[in-house]
Structure 1
């Protein structure tokens, strides 16, 4: 299906001040603060945002008046820096984007497919249910102009159950290499039938602990989560990463009751990274790419293989052939291959369950 349009959803903060009839959107101000934080000066931020110097100062002064506090700290030797208030505001925006974007992308994909089916030139499409990840996100972007790919972000268990019920065409799931492979596969076993399904290898990725740059708490492994001075942020209930964390804690003889923050919930690797980078936790578990994007240090724990499960009968459909061609193409392989911690040597490879887990 060739799309003539692309639907997207984005979160937006608004600010209502006393005496104002309408809330004021914070989007331009937050973009400007992010550019100042990245460039270290207002002139560079103006170029990045396409704003005049005068207009940029107007935006800043307006919101400083509304908030009643400074947003910038100017020092001749150190350049322009965000005030603690502005830093907290910017980190709140980064956390909410990391937390909400998968949900919004899934909703936008659903609406796009509903509308596309009403068009006269509507063609075949695929339904993908998978946990949020960088390789999945990139695949979605590259299929936007070709065969339709309708995306729902789900946990691995939810995705595999959807495939069993016929509610999707591809179900994404990850399996760690090594000692945790067997218990994870046992968790998936009731939905993975060797006679009915094939696997498409997506990538191998590094999963480990995120810590603040420089590792000031000297966190070195899972056993450190039991320390009283370590605040942990966990993935959501039902996710494979949360289940893996439980297995690793069990191996390390650490009770979940001793882990400060074990009952917390975040839904993506980027949300875990943003949570830690903003100072709300000391460590969490996710893929290496997310840690690097937020300037965090990374302590590797396991290597994971990520697969799409498909029905054997779906392999020769035009949409599935196009998806495999994109996955095996140089553009997609080049992008995923440069992601920190990702290995694409087997990307696009078809395997039986016996071949993958002999």
Structure 2
């Protein structure tokens, strides 16, 4: 007996076109998609999901017409469309069957249908567990960042051929910048951010050289016991710039699950068997670490792995998860992304440094609006280890 091609509507949650059952669920969709196209799509999806395999026989035209409550000519038109796409074959007297080798041109369409189906099932599962849509988006963003970090260690970075984007960012790595880029792209697709994580000092130097529009910094100055402003005044003298607080964040030791070496402070980094993974010179994290080591009279020569450098917090966390290091300094959100232990050492401020001429642009003002919005603050708090109480606070440094 040939099974019905309709799938269970109970797993649908789209208000428009349902890719699970390939039936429209609103009047608007019905007016946009012809019935024969809906029938064809339902079969495409089942082929993509592997529910219909090469050689499987499809229902007769008459049987399928009864299932869809339509004319046989409508079903025949759907079958003709599938045959033209190379998905099915048919001979007089033997019925319609799934093709043994679908045409190459149909593969992207089938792959997209499969991917969309998997994404919908993931979202449904997450919603069923009680997660909010914003939490799901943030989780996907962090997971993609982890995957990209892994790929960077395997695949050489391609040569950029695209034209420069409207707003160029150079500075310290922080997961909130990935969120900010996504929010800006959603609000204004024509003005994405060009993100380059080269450390806090690298960001300020890029501003001085004119190769960046704004930077992200968290530079601790021991002489004034303050963050960022002293460095901005030294590296960008005579320029009027805005300091915008993105968030306060927890900085501390990232350790393997269970903290097997019982590390509790920076003094423990000199223990036998402890392998450190460092941030690159010029990063705000490295600046803070070196100040602390100097204050506690801890020689860098006594720290195994001090010369091993990574360019982002996620790279540090990945090194610890993989076992190439047993301790590193980074933000809580990076440790949480890799399910690692974390011991907080301080709370630091992460700020954006924006040139006055850039501040006045429409794109920058869109960016500031997003930073001050509740949805952005909520997505930042979802990462964990952040405090958005001062997010959006503005301070001008005059020459």
Work out the CA distance in 1 between the residues paired with 2:271 and 2:366.
50
Structure 1 residues 79-128: Cα deviation after superposition (integer angstroms, max 9, x where no partner): xxxxxxxxxxxxxxx988426559999979x65544x7xxxxxxxx2221
After superposition, the Cα gap between the structure-2 partners of 1:250 and 1:185, relative to the gap in structure 1 and judged at 3 Å, is farther
Q: What is the CA distance between 1:248 and its match in structure 2?
A: 1.2
- Specify every segment of 5 or more residues in structure 1 that has no aligned partner in the other structure, as ranges: 1-49, 55-93, 117-124
2:206 aligns with 162
SS of the aligned residue for 2:307 comes to coil
Work out the CA distance in 1 between the residues paired with 2:208 and 2:275.
38
- Kept in 2, the 8 Å contact 1:102–1:132? The answer is no
1:19 aligns with none
SS of the aligned residue for 1:295 comes to coil
After superposition, the Cα gap between the structure-2 partners of 1:141 and 1:350, relative to the gap in structure 1 and judged at 3 Å, is same
Structure 1 residues 212-238: Cα deviation after superposition (integer angstroms, max 9, x where no partner): 122111100001111122111111233
Q: How many residues get paired? A: 255
Work out the CA distance in 1 between the residues paired with 2:233 and 2:207.
13
Q: What is the CA distance between 1:325 and its match in structure 2?
A: 1.1
- Of structures 1 and 2, the one with the larger relative CO (CA 8 A, separation 6+) is 1
2:179 to 128, 133, 138: 138
The answer to whether structure 1 residue 277 and structure 2 residue 321 are counterparts is yes
1:220 aligns with 264
Work out the CA distance in 2 between the residues paired with 1:200 and 1:333.
14
- Kept in 1, the 8 Å contact 2:219–2:231? The answer is no
Work out the CA distance in 2 between the residues paired with 1:179 and 1:191.
16
- Kept in 2, the 8 Å contact 1:235–1:242? The answer is yes
SS of the aligned residue for 1:143 comes to helix
- Kept in 1, the 8 Å contact 2:197–2:311? The answer is no
| Runs of 4+ residues over 6 Å off in structure 1 | 102-108, 177-180
1:322 to 366, 372, 375: 366
Work out the CA distance in 1 between the residues paired with 2:50 and 2:279.
39
1:233 to 261, 277, 301: 277
1:126 to 152, 160, 167: 167
The answer to whether structure 1 residue 342 and structure 2 residue 393 are counterparts is no
Is the radius of gyration larger for structure 1 or structure 2? 2
Structure 1 residues 230-266: Cα deviation after superposition (integer angstroms, max 9, x where no partner): 1111112332212221111111211000001111111
Q: What is the CA distance between 1:144 and its match in structure 2?
A: 2.0
Q: How large is the Cα RMSD of the aligned pairs? A: 3.3
1:88 aligns with none
Task: State the TM-score, normalized to the length of structure 1.
Answer: 0.63
